[in-house]
Amino acid sequence: MAGNRTLTIIKPDAFNSGKSGLIIAHLEKAGFKIISSRVMRLSEPQAQAFYAVHRERPFFAPLVRFMTSGKCMPMVLERADAVATLRKTIGATDPAEAEAGTVRKLYAESKERNAIHASDSDENAEREAKFFFAEAELI
């Protein structure tokens, strides 16, 4: 995706509490364009596959439980330097450590229920985009 796309997920805590509109507005103000989006509830196998890299971590089971607890909103976003800019825009994993004005500082409840996901590399952005969207939805 040549460094200009990334994958985000508005997680069940934020979606369920009606924060998706505010979060999308925040991302658009930061210069991101939505390429593709959907509202869905992850199945347990889908959540396990998406977070497979964390399967040995102690937080894996609660993470899968949380991510399957309600609807979420995966989106492919586009702007220059997308991966790094989105990670800066959303802030640290733990909202207690996130900078003021970041999405997680504003909307996340905790490190576990942290409102939003962002890909951590161009390779993962491409893999994660394909996890949720068909080729035709990524044009």
- Residue 54 annotated as catalytic: no
Q: Is 117 a binder of ligand CMP (CB under 6 A)?
A: yes
x/- contact string, 9-38, with ligand CMP (CB under 6 A)?
------------------------------
The whole-angstrom separation of Cα 110 and Cα 115 is 9
> CA distances (Å), 102 to each of 75, 121, 125, in order?
18, 19, 20
Antiparallel, parallel or unpaired: β 33-37 and 116-118: unpaired
Residue (33 or 54) nearer to ligand CMP, CB: 54
Residue 125: partners with Cβ closer than 8 Å, 6 or more residues away: 1, 5, 6, 7, 82, 83, 119
The whole-angstrom separation of Cα 95 and Cα 113 is 9
Residue (19 or 117) nearer to ligand CMP, CB: 117
Q: Is 8 a binder of ligand CMP (CB under 6 A)?
A: no
Please give the residues from 84 up to 103 whose contact with ligand CMP meets the rule CB under 6 A.
Answer: 93
CB of residue 139 to ligand CMP, shortest distance in Å: 26
Q: Is 114 a binder of ligand CMP (CB under 6 A)?
A: yes
Q: Pick the catalytic residue: 117, 126, 128, 132?
A: 117
Residue 37: partners with Cβ closer than 8 Å, 6 or more residues away: 73, 74, 75, 76
Q: Which parts of this chain interact with ligand CMP (CB under 6 A)?
A: 54, 59, 63, 93, 111-112, 114, 117
